[in-house]
Chains A and B, each alone.
Chain A
Amino acid sequence: MDYSSEELLICVIARLLEGVEHIAVGVSSPIPGSAALLQRSLSDGATRVTVLNSRQLQALNDGVTELFDMAAQGRIGAFFLSGGQIDGSGNINLVGVGDYPQMRVRWSGSFGSALLYYLVPKVILFRDEHTRRTMVEKVDFISAPGTSAEGVHRPGGPHALVTNLCAFSFDKEKARFRLESIHPGHSLEEVRDNTGFVFDCPDHVPKTPAPEPERLALLRGPLAAEVADPYPKFAARVWGV
């Protein structure tokens, strides 16, 4: 069965969300957002989804503080972060490239990462550009660290890193990523060539499973319209709704 790269990534992320009671999704994250909605529709009512700035999927009414208060209380089970740079220790950089403050390349800023990365149990890192520019040995600026020293309150942190090439899990003890699967059409050599950090690699790396037909049918049917509420451009491009 044919499927798009977006549909593959949505299904990869959705598998990581199994059993999560409340998934929160930030602005401009259509692929993670679609994965959260897919998990919700598979959960028989057990999973709730909050999409920031969505008209229908944001049952919050206490201003910008509410999401962070919920996270600090343990009311959010999974969240998604990304980075202009992500390094092998799970550190993420949303600030820029070069020496702070007068950086060569400046991005928007750290947003909620320096709280959410510490407190949300399953943070899934997602970046659809897997190159040596984005997957670096050491980030130029730590917006939020991958791990914390012993004694620092840290119930949350990185759970996985999903890119356009592959999926990694994160080992908190070793503060390292482990390659879990490589997406169809890509190779271990390609992953190594495009990754600036060292990662653990099993002797045999499985191929990422293709999207399950019934999940594809869900995405292309009822879910496409749900995704179009917060992410109209994405839904129009991928599913023509």
Chain B
Amino acid sequence: MIAETLQELVAPIESGASIALPPTRSGPAIAATRALIETGAKDLHLIAIPTSGLQADLLIGAGRVATMESAGVTLDEFGQAPRFVDAVKQGTLKLKDTTCPALVSALQAGEKGIPFIPMRGLIGSDLLKHREDYQVIDNPFARSGDPIVVLPAIVPDFALFHAPLADRHGNVWIGKARELMTMAHAARHTLVSAEEIVDEDLMADPLRSPATIPAHYVTKIAQAERGCWPLGLAGCYDLDAEAMSAYARMARTAEGFAQFLEDGPEPAQQVAAE
């Protein structure tokens, strides 16, 4: 349950796996993503729930991604995700563009163990036109015609994210980032890095258990101090604007991107990983 290193945490992810990733403000596991790049696993299918940024860009830049399924890939105030944009222009990525609520709804279908879920919207968009896996059905409960889109359930092979706190039993405290709960419920395996791993049982604490993913859903956890760096983690630390600006600048070229990876994580993380 508790992995000694981030390398051990991500070791189960093999080439061709699908991985659900959280949005930038809900704890992207950047340190663990660096470890994943080192394993050499490739042809990954990334599923952003519902958007991604640096985390997807790192994996794409490292040549590990075959399919990008998302409603948005962006570095937010630091601009476009440069490796994503470059891969789109080169045509090296299979794109499954969609809209935020479609990803969350389809993941909820996965959580419920049902084959599909209907959703409003999408009809008449080019998103729908390019998604052969989405279908339009007639609402069977309507008196007159009511077309509605149905989305196949998303059951990711892995959910990978970073959380502020976990315990040695494998329970993971996520605060308000409820999409992480849905990800863990839907995924076959959930891999979590955490700022801190404590001895007490988080599920036994009535104040914290409502915002805690029970260990039942969690495959492995590992400790990683400042595991989102250079991104921030709500309630723990702010985003490192200087490092994000540096990334946005360097990753405009493949060489600069390689240099950013080689420069490695900031010192605090290296200490934690040793």
Q: How far is the CA of A141 from the CA of B124 in the complex (A)?
A: 11
Q: Are A68 and B101 touching (Cβ within 8 A)?
A: yes
Choose the segment among A4-12, A142-150, A163-171, A204-212 that binds chain B (4+ C-beta atoms closer than 8 Å): A142-150
CB nearest neighbor in B for A108: B74
Cα A62 to Cα B148 in complex, Å, equals 25
**B121 x A144 contact (CB < 8 A):** yes
Q: Is the interface of B mostly helix, strand, loop or mixed?
A: mixed
Interface size class of A (residues with CB under 8 A): 35 or more
User: Using a Cβ cutoff of 8 Å, how many contacts connect chains A and B?
Assistant: 142
User: How long is the Cα–Cα vector from A52 to B129 in the complex, in angstroms?
Assistant: 29
Check A152/B147 contact, CB under 8 A, given A112-B101, A143-B125. yes
Contact of A68 among B104, B146, B176 (CB under 8 A): B104
Q: B77 — nearest CB in chain A belongs to which residue? A: A28
- Chain B interface: which size bin? 35 or more
Whether B121 lies near A110 (C-beta < 8 A) is no
Q: Contacts A64-B179, A101-B95, A109-B51: A143 and B101 contacting too (C-beta < 8 A)?
A: no
Q: Is the CB of A118 within 8 A of B108?
A: no
Is B120 in contact with A115, judged by CB distance below 8 angstroms? yes
**CB <8 Å contact, A103 and B88:** yes
Question: Is A114 within 8 A of B23, CB to CB?
Answer: no
Closest beta carbon of chain B to A24's beta carbon, Å: 13
Q: Could you tell me which residues of chain B, from 65 to 109, have a CB within 8 Å of some CB in chain A?
A: 70-74, 76-77, 80-81, 84-85, 88-91, 95, 97-102, 104-105, 108
* Contact of A115 with B122 in the complex, beta carbons under 8 Å: yes
Q: Is the CB of B85 within 8 A of A151?
A: no
Instruction: Check A114 against B122 for contact (C-beta < 8 Å).
Output: yes
In the assembled complex, the CB of A178 is this many whole angstroms from the nearest CB of chain B, namely 22
Residues of B within 8 A of A65 (CB): 101, 104-105, 108, 178-179, 182
Q: For window 149-195 of chain B, which residues contact chain A by CB distance below 8 Å? A: 176-182
Check: B25 CB closer than 8 A to any chain A CB: yes
Q: Are B126 and A100 in contact (CB under 8 A)?
A: yes
CB contacts under 8 Å to B, within A104-123, are: 104, 106-119
CA of A64 to CA of B176, assembled, Å? 10
B97 near A109: Cβ-Cβ < 8 Å: yes
Complex-state Cα separation, A95 to B96, whole angstroms: 12
A125-156: contact bitstring with B at CB < 8 Å (1 yes, 0 no)? 00000000000000001111100110111000
A119 and B176: CB pair below 8 A? no
Do B102 and A64 touch across chains, with their CB atoms under 8 A apart?
Answer: no
Q: Are B120 and A148 in contact (CB under 8 A)?
A: no
Known: A106-B88, A111-B51, A112-B101. A118 touches B121 (CB 8 A): yes
Q: Is the CB of B97 within 8 A of A72?
A: no
Cβ–Cβ contact B76 & A109, under 8 A:
no
Distance to closest chain A CB from B193 (angstroms): 20
Neighbour of B120 across the interface among A61, A104, A153, CB < 8 A: A153
The closest CB in chain A to the CB of B182 belongs to: A63
CB-CB under 8 A from A144, the residues of chain B are 99, 121, 125
- Judge if B127 is at the interface, Cβ distance under 8 Å: yes
Q: B49 on the interface (CB 8 Å rule)?
A: yes
A27 at the interface (CB under 8 A from B): yes
A72 to B149, CA, bound (A): 14
Instruction: Tell me if B71 and A110 are in contact (CB < 8 A).
Output: yes
Residues of chain B within 8 A (CB-CB) of A113 are 99
Contact assessment for A62 and B125 in the assembled complex, using a CB-CB cutoff below 8 Å: no
Q: A108 CA to B98 CA in the complex, in Å?
A: 11
Chain A residues within CB distance 8 Å of chain B:
27-28, 53, 61-66, 68, 72, 95-96, 100-104, 106-119, 141-145, 148-149, 151-153
**14 A–B contact pairs at CB < 8 A?**
A28-B77, A64-B49, A65-B101, A100-B126, A106-B89, A108-B73, A108-B80, A108-B81, A112-B50, A114-B121, A115-B120, A117-B121, A118-B121, A151-B144
Which A-B residue pairs are the 7 nearest by beta carbons? A63-B178, A114-B99, A109-B72, A68-B101, A115-B121, A108-B74, A63-B179
On B, residues with C-beta under 8 Å from A are 23, 25-26, 49-51, 70-74, 76-77, 80-81, 84-85, 88-91, 95, 97-102, 104-105, 108, 119-128, 130, 144-148, 176-182
- Given A101-B95, A109-B70, 6 more contacts at CB 8 Å? A64-B49, A65-B104, A65-B108, A102-B91, A108-B72, A115-B119
